[in-house]
Amino acid sequence: MMDFGFKISPSSAINLDNADLSLYDELCKAEPDICKCMACGSCSAACPANRFSGMSVRKLIIDLQRGKKKEAVKMLSDCMLCGKCTMVCPRGINTRHLILSICKLYKED
Amino acid sequence: MKENILIIGGGIAGLEAAAQLLKLGYNPIIVEKSDHLGGHVAEWNRLFPDMTPAEDVVSRLIAGAGEANIFLNTGISFVNRLKDSYNIMLSNGISVITRILLFATGFTLFDAAKKEEYGYGVYNQVMTNMDLERWFNTGNDERIPEEGPKTMGFVHCVGSRDEKARNPQCSKVCCITAVKQAIEMKQKFPDAMIYCFYMDLRMFGKKYEDFYISAQRDYGIRFIRGRVSEVSENIEGRLVVKAEDTLSGKPVKVTMDLLVLMAGIVCNPDTCRTAGLVSLPVDSDGFLKSRDNIADITESPKEGIFYAGTCTGPKTVPETLAEARSAALAIHNYIQGLK
Amino acid sequence: MIGMIFILSYCLIGLVRIILQLPKEDRKRFFMSLVNPKTMAKNIRDIFCDCLFHVKLWKRNKLLGYMHSSIAFGWFMLIVIGHIEVLLYTPHRAKLFYFPIFFRYFVAETESTMRGAFFFFLMDFFLLMVLSGIFLAMFKRLQSRLFGMRRTTNPSFLDLVGLYSLWAIFPLRLLAEGFTADISGGSFLTKSLNYVLNSFLSDHTNMLPAWWAYSCALGVFFIVLPFTRYMHIPTEILLIPLRNAGIKIRNARKGFAKAEVYSCPSCGLCIDACPMGVMKTHIKDTTVYLNRQIRRNNERRIEEISDKCLLCGKCSAICPVGVEGDKLRIAQRSLRKYSVNPDYADISSDALSVHAEGKVLYYAGCMTALTPVIRKSMESILKKAGIAYELMDRDGGICCGRPMMMAGRFDQAREMIERNTRIIKDSGATTLLLTCPICYRIFKEKYHLDGIEIIHHTEYIDRLVRSGSLKISRDDRKYVYHDPCELGRGCGIYEQPREVLSCAGELVEAAKNRKESICCGGSLGSLTLGFDKRKAMTENALANLTVAAPDVIVTACPLCRSTFNRYADLPVEDIAETIDKKCV
């Protein structure tokens, strides 16, 4: 290979054209409320597992929307299903059931 | 004989409408349930974006409506529908016969104690936007330390855009009010560190964006995009405010001496009661329903009943005044049409 | 005849299957309990009280109780006396079990003897009793409200077949015995019917179709029985000794759970009890329908019903046969398969460790963090009473595990329990104080803290007041106490909070209270009920609380407090708040 003096590294940008959102679409069918999230962050701030695994329902939703499944699933590892996120959500999203649905649909690596 | 027009509510909308109706040659009668005119604005200190003293605005409006019949501390007991007019019994025993009713009943500030997680009424350092304005006016509030707070915060959207608080609507004016109050606090206490916790900043009005820029640049107010989820107390009795800084994706924790809750605008329960007397419909947002939300915002679906101001939804002061004038004109045209 | 053989063999197979499905230690425990004279006596007493006399139903509604006990006890006595008669008159036939049923058909007896007259009278008396019960049952179909039931179950087709054949049995028996009363004897009822019949039908051949119809109705009833709700009659007899043996649900569908499902009489008492019932759309999500769907193996509906439930436990509390609707549902939830499984091994314990040697350790819990007033008031009470305490989760901690348990994910819940247990044991505390009933319940039921006392703040405040460490000033306000589901029905704590509140002011009661208190609607138990669906339930619960026109609503659960506070016109307080304001 020729040396051009620079390397092409994989882009850190999210390419929505290539993102595999088939699971997300399925999730949307089971949890239509997921689209209501306005990313206020109440869930993350209230979450007792946040300090352990960075668990954040807000980030979870964004990651899944962007096709970043791996990051999303990793966050769930310390979720205690305590329901605080559901209590504080100003949009009334049933985050607790959303988490269970994600646990059902997505796979751990 | 001048035509009677009953205006329910002696806030800025009612006063401005009365002034206009006087000029058009009618006899407006203002019924106000509290002991003062000017409504919420009369209790405010200064108004955004030019820091106009609220007192000036209100006193000008009161002067304009001076010749109207005004009943303070008065409510509406019941309404009889006559053939083409209304017979209205006031709580002071006076009855008024009128063809026109103008609802200028205004709003209520959301009861911040209902958002339990913010600890209003529980912690000594938590107050509302209203409490702060009162302090600007009177200088009396034991929640604010003499030497000023070292660190303080404003929580936007308390009881607005919140289904849990039963009010999914945006209250429209709190963003700019928080910016205004933050600037005022910084002017009073230049050493204080001031945070604003917001979900979205809605700087839609004339000069609002400038105001926001000034808050950032000239006053160093820090804006954190994240809704406060919990407020607790540390061992020294200072507040610990928890939110997520959604822009960095990390939880933030700030220790504070003062927290101001920007209580939102919700429909006045008395408005709904009075509206019920003449069976006016309530819209899905909890405010009174207009005939049309674009073309006829000041007209109710019922003949002879008009609206002005925040009884149909959150509005700023200039919007309310403009609407009051527009309502007066709509009333005038309606009466002309009857002849 | 065929029906009888069928049902007996069916029951026997069912019995053996259920017993085989029990885990080994449970089976052993069950058999041991059967030979234990104490539980044996309890079994017999419970079977008589519940299956024959329906004591629980009597307590609920007299008409309903009479209807059930007249049919059950009357029928039982008809069978017993029938057998006695056979033994007395034709002992050689006693081995044929069908003989006593059709005794009047086979035997021509006279009532010349005193003995005969006595038995004939008894037989007629109990027949009348059963008939009155059947009549009430028919009436109940039309007017269930008189029986204290606003809504009843929608019967399935086979249920209807069973129901009509049951209704038909006894009038037909009366008719048949009426025809033969002059040959085989009878008493006030059958004899007089016989005179009436004889007046226009003198032919004895009429008796044959009547007896046939009677035996057909009986046959149909017993053949359809296993597929209808009437299966509860034999199953309940098994359920009672199983329950008395202390056996719990371990498998969602097998063993004890199966016994419970088949013991459900589909009476529908749980429909009126269910807090979701305020909305018509939820009626088919009540425990009766869960049991029906489990019998039918309708997986989609089972999942739907079990996930929606608030787990308030009221259906279990009022169920006349003791079906545990909430536990059954949790068991169904535990069947779900998840591909992502949280695991808390990586949580470092150092950050969470507390030192509370010899002190009270106060675990506020996740929900209390959202209602800081409870924590603040509780801390203030502890300070006023001079109690040395330490907070376990000032900066948040590990959840108690109950919400995870409710979702049916037992392994995860167990892990959290282990983590918390270690933190608590290492703290050196002597008492663990909780202000949240959700936490309290799981700490009581699943934690083993050897020697560390687990106490809910209602109990603790009551103790402080009794011991004089806390002085409460009285006022003349009226307080109504709402029993949180997890504290009341879950842990049986009803009296302590009431004791405390009656020191603070006048205590009034809600229309439905204690065991029958109505869930606030905010429960974590429901997995699928969205926020917008719960409003009607909360408003219904509030209406129930305010019947006695209280000034303040007091509860002892952070979740109930915030749920009520959202919709109530009255002030809503936690008991800690109320007491903190009133004590000096």
Q: B163 and C376: CB-CB below 8 Å? A: no
**Integer Cα distance of B277 and B76 in angstroms:** 9
Q: Which residue range is the domain that position B9 belongs to?
A: 4-106+268-338
CB contact under 8 A, C339 and A106: yes
Tell which of B265, B299, B318 closes a domain. B265
Number of CB pairs < 8 Å for B and C?
A: 39
Q: What is the pLDDT of residue C212?
A: 79
Collect all residues of chain A within an 8 Å Cβ-Cβ radius of residue C528.
Answer: 94, 97
Contact list, A104 vs chain C (CB under 8 Å):
336-339
Grouped pLDDT means (10 residues each) for chain B, 339 residues: 91 96 95 95 93 95 94 93 91 93 95 94 94 94 92 96 92 95 96 96 93 95 95 91 93 95 93 91 92 93 94 95 96 91
Determine the angle formed by the axes of helices C37-46 and C24-35, rounding to 10 degrees: 90
Judge whether A102 is closer than 8 Å to chain C, CB to CB: yes
Which of B265, B298, B330 is the last residue before a domain boundary? B265
Task: Identify whether residues B177 and B138 lie together within a single domain.
Answer: yes
Nearest CA in chain B to C563: B164
Tell which of B250, B265, B280 closes a domain.
B265
Are B43 and B61 within one domain? yes
Could you write out the DSSP letters of every residue in B107-163? EEE--GGGSGGGTBTTBTTEEEHHHHHHHHHH---TTS-TT--SEEEEEEEESSSBG
Inter-chain touch B114–C566, beta carbons under 8 Å: yes
Q: pLDDT tens across A7-54, in order?
A: 666 677 778 888 788 889 999 998 999 999 999 999 999 999 988 888
- Are C372 and B163 an interchain contact pair (Cβ–Cβ within 8 Å)? no
Q: Contact C561/B122, CB-based, under 8 Å? A: no
The residue assigned the tokens 């010349």 is C112
Chain A residues with CB-CB distance to B229 below 8 A? 41-43, 45-46, 88
Q: How far is CA B182 from the centre of its chain?
A: 18
Q: Do B251 and A88 touch (CB under 8 A)?
A: no
With 60 as the cut, is the pLDDT of residue A1 above it? no
* Residue B309 near residue B18, CB atoms below 8 Å: no
Mutation for B interface: A36, A42, A43, A93, most B CBs within 10 A = A42
- Residues in chain A with CB shorter than 8 Å from the CB of B164 are 87-90, 92
Cβ(C468)–Cβ(C385) under 8 Å? no
Nearest to C376 among B114, B122, B163 (CB): B122
- Shortest distance between the Cα of C422 and any Cα of chain B, in A, equals 25
User: Is the same domain home to B154 and B276?
Assistant: no
- The residues, any chain, with a CB within 8 Å of residue B188's CB and separated by 6 or more, are B148
C442 to chain A, minimum CA–CA distance in Å?
13
Q: What fold characterizes domain C350-458?
A: Rossmann fold (3.40.50)
Q: Which two tokens stand for residue C159?
A: 């249920």
Q: Which of residues 297-336 of C touch A (CB under 8 A)?
A: 307, 336
Q: Residue A19's pLDDT is what?
A: 79
Domains located in chain A, CATH noted: 22-105 (1.10.1060.10)
Residue whose tokens read 């005179």: C195
**Closest Cβ–Cβ partner in B121, B123, B230 for C370:** B230
Which residues fall within 8 angstroms of residue B102, CB to CB, at 6 or more apart? B5, B6, B7, B8, B14, B17, B305, B306, B307, B308, B327, B331
Q: What's the number of domains chain B is made of? A: 2
Q: Which residues contact C502 (CB under 8 A, 6 or more apart)?
A: none
Long-range contacts of B248-253 (CB under 8 A, 24+ apart): B249/A56, B249/A59, B251/A44, B251/A45, B251/A50, B251/A51, B252/A45, B252/B224, B252/B226
Looking at domain C463-582, does it have CATH number 3.30.1760? no
Domain match, B231 and B302 both: no
Q: Tell me which chains share at least 3 CB pairs under 8 Å with chain B.
A: A, C
Q: Per the CB < 8 Å rule, is C369 touching B230?
A: yes
Half-sphere exposure of C65 (CA within 13 A, CB side): 12
Helix and strand totals (H; E) in chain B: 8, 20
CATH number assigned to the domain comprising residue B189 = 3.50.50.60
The helix/strand/coil state of B28 is: strand
Evaluate whether B109 touches B127 at the Cβ level (below 8 Å): no
Contacts of C401 in chain A (CB under 8 A): 80
* Amino acid occupying residue C506: E
Residue C564 is predicted with a pLDDT of 95
Q: Where in chain C is the domain with CATH 3.40.50?
A: 350-458, 463-582
Q: Which two tokens stand for residue C510?
A: 């809600």
pLDDT of residue C552: 95
For testing contact with chain C, the best of B124, B125, B232, B253 (most C CBs within 10 A): B232
Q: Does A23 touch chain C (CB under 8 A)?
A: no
* Residue burial B287-321, b: 16+ Cβ < 10 Å; e: rest: bbbbeeeeeebbbbeeebbbbbbbbbbbbbbebbb
Tell me, yes or no, whether B123 and B72 share the same domain.
Answer: no
Measured between beta carbons, the chain A residues lying within 8 angstroms of B243 are 41-42, 45
Residue B41 and residue B126 share a domain = no
Nearest CA in chain C to B228: C370
Structure tokens at B203: 């700087």
Q: Touching check for C565 and chain A: CB below 8 Å?
A: no
What is the four-CA torsion angle of C426, C429, C433, C438, rounded to 10 degrees?
20
pLDDT of A7: 67
Which amino acid would we find at residue B183?
A: I
Largest CA distance in chain C: 96
Q: Is B168 on the interface with C (CB under 8 A)?
A: no
Cβ burial C143-153 (10 Å sphere, 16+ → b, else e): ebeebebebbb
One pLDDT digit (tens) per residue for chain C, 584 residues: 565 666 667 667 777 777 777 777 777 777 777 777 777 787 788 777 777 777 777 777 788 888 888 888 888 888 888 777 777 776 665 555 555 566 666 655 554 455 567 777 888 888 888 888 888 888 887 777 777 777 777 788 888 888 888 888 888 888 877 777 766 666 777 777 777 777 776 566 667 777 778 888 888 888 888 788 888 888 888 888 888 888 888 888 888 888 899 899 888 889 989 999 888 888 899 999 999 999 889 999 999 999 999 999 999 999 988 899 999 999 999 999 999 888 888 887 777 888 988 899 999 999 999 999 999 999 999 999 999 999 998 888 899 999 999 999 999 999 999 999 999 999 999 999 999 999 999 999 999 998 899 999 999 999 999 999 999 999 999 999 999 999 999 999 999 999 999 999 999 999 999 999 999 999 999 999 988 889 999 999 999 999 999 999 999 999 999 999 999 999 999 999 999 998 87
* Same-domain check for residues B185 and B307: no
Interchain pair C372, B230: CB under 8 A: yes
User: Would residue C432 be called left, alpha or beta, if left means φ above 0 and alpha means ψ between -120 and 50 degrees?
Assistant: beta
Same domain, B125 and B248: yes
pLDDT of residue B231: 94
Return the number of other C-beta atoms located less than 10 Å from residue B73's C-beta: 12
Contact B242, B229 (CB under 8 A): yes
B302 with B276, same domain: the answer is yes
A46 touches chain B (CB under 8 A): yes
Is there a contact between C341 and A103 if contact means CB atoms under 8 Å apart?
A: yes
| Closest to B131 measured CA to CA, from B232, B259, B316 | B259
* B216 vs B236: CA distance, rounded Å: 31
Q: Which residues in A lie closer than 8 A to residue C370 (C-beta atoms)?
A: 46, 84, 87-88
Neighbours of chain A (3+ CB pairs under 8 A): B, C
